[in-house]
Amino acid sequence: MISFEKIANPQLLWLLLVLVPLVAYYVYRNRQGGAAIQVSSTQGLEGLTRTAKYYLRHLPFVLRCAAIALLIVALARPQTSESNETSTAEGIDIMMALDISGSMLARDFRPDRITAAKEITQNFINDRPNDRIGLVVFAGEAFTQSPLTTDKATLITLLSRVREGMIDDGTAIGNGLATAVNRLRKSSAASKVIILLTDGVNNSGQVAPLTAAEIAQTFGIRVYTIGIGTTGMAPTPAIDGYGRITYIQAPVEIDEEILTQISQMTGGQYFRATDNDKLRTIYEEINQLEKTQIEVDSQTRWFERFMPFALAALALVVLELLLRYFYFRRIP
């Protein structure tokens, strides 16, 4: 099938109107007669059966008109296109700093804070296919669970292995932030971000939270801080007199002042998550704030497709000549 997308010289298609007088002249000439042999009467021929030649006698003219039409279309230069798109993604380097202290087992979130944080963090990771993401965990100390990577499957696997008790208990916000900054300080990405989630007050570690924030500011790193925990009291794990884990109502203490200062110093933002839905909304908002820029370079190349029309016209002319001089041969 001959196909094309556009005509380069559509004004030439007006030449198709030349077929109108050609057809009109052909019809006129056939109505005037024009027999090759003159006889005194055709009465003796009236009972003869009409053969296939009679019904196909106009075929050569039809082929000639079709050939002319195809040649005109070929002169109008039919074309097809080929589009190439090159996408360039300007990704963002993101370090997730996650508090895994004992208080993250509090059940004011479903089923608890740390599980809810892990599930929603996983969704956030899946929504950032063009970014490098890493993971730092902290309690009484801090360490890197995963360096910056584009391997989201491995990162999610490492995230799933995070649990309370991996390191000594406590809340070293400064150490967690400093460890994340250390992973980003040599990054060449246009945008560098830390998302720090905690449910407590800094009470451990060697680095003060605001000192770590100053270092982040020096390296142009934005820090989004999230305080996770309901307002008032929350069912929090404790050890009873028999060494068993039990849950007691304990006050929720989050150093919102320090977390707000950290975000303000670095150009980020502080959020407070009081339940699963609020935490999910916060991550969605951060996802919108930190949009990855994708540039698409589109190029279209046009190719001439007149040759099939020209060859088809030539084939019709040859077929017309063969029919005219062999099958429909007339007596001079």
In this structure, the answer to whether residues 271 and 248 fall within a common structural domain is: yes
In this structure, the answer to whether residues 200 and 322 fall within a common structural domain is: no
Task: State yes or no: pLDDT of 136 exceeds 90.
Answer: yes
User: pLDDT-based confidence at 243, cuts 50/70/90?
Assistant: confident
Largest Cα–Cα separation, the chain: 135
Q: What is the pTM of this model?
A: 0.66
- Is 39 contained in some domain? no
User: pLDDT-based confidence at 82, cuts 50/70/90?
Assistant: confident
The mean pLDDT of 149-160, rounded to a whole number, is 96
In this structure, the answer to whether residues 162 and 259 fall within a common structural domain is: yes
Give the C-alpha distances (Å, rounded to integers) separating 213 from 78, 132, 149, 253.
64, 21, 23, 21
Residue-wise pLDDT tens digits, 54-79: 667 788 888 889 999 999 999 999 99
In this structure, the answer to whether residues 223 and 320 fall within a common structural domain is: no
- Is 272 contained in some domain? yes
Q: 10 Å Cβ neighbour count for 83? A: 8
* Residue from 16, 58, 61, 63 nearest 317 by CA: 63
In this structure, the answer to whether residues 322 and 194 fall within a common structural domain is: no
- Is 42 contained in some domain? no
So what's the pLDDT on residue 171? 97
Question: Residue 80 — φ and ψ, nearest 5°?
Answer: -120, 165
Among 36-50, 179-193, 311-325, the range with the most confident prediction by mean pLDDT is: 179-193
So what's the pLDDT on residue 4? 76
In this structure, the answer to whether residues 127 and 210 fall within a common structural domain is: yes
Q: CA end-to-end span of the chain, whole Å?
A: 40
Task: State yes or no: pLDDT of 88 exceeds 70.
Answer: no
In this structure, the answer to whether residues 65 and 130 fall within a common structural domain is: no
- Is 43 contained in some domain? no
- Is 40 contained in some domain? no
In this structure, the answer to whether residues 208 and 255 fall within a common structural domain is: yes
So what's the pLDDT on residue 323? 83
In this structure, the answer to whether residues 174 and 64 fall within a common structural domain is: no
The mean pLDDT of 305-320, rounded to a whole number, is 89
The mean pLDDT of 84-95, rounded to a whole number, is 75
In this structure, the answer to whether residues 308 and 229 fall within a common structural domain is: no
What is the span of the domain harbouring residue 62?
A: 6-28+52-83+299-327
Quote the number of domains for the chain: 2
Question: Following DSSP, what letter does each residue of 143-154 receive, concatenated?
Answer: EEEEEEES-HHH
For residues 229 and 113, the answer to whether their CB atoms sit within 8 Å is: yes
* Residue from 105, 119, 207 nearest 163 by CA: 105
Query: Tell me, what amino acid is at 52?
Result: A
In this structure, the answer to whether residues 137 and 281 fall within a common structural domain is: yes
Q: What is the overall mean pLDDT for the chain? A: 88
- Is 172 contained in some domain? yes
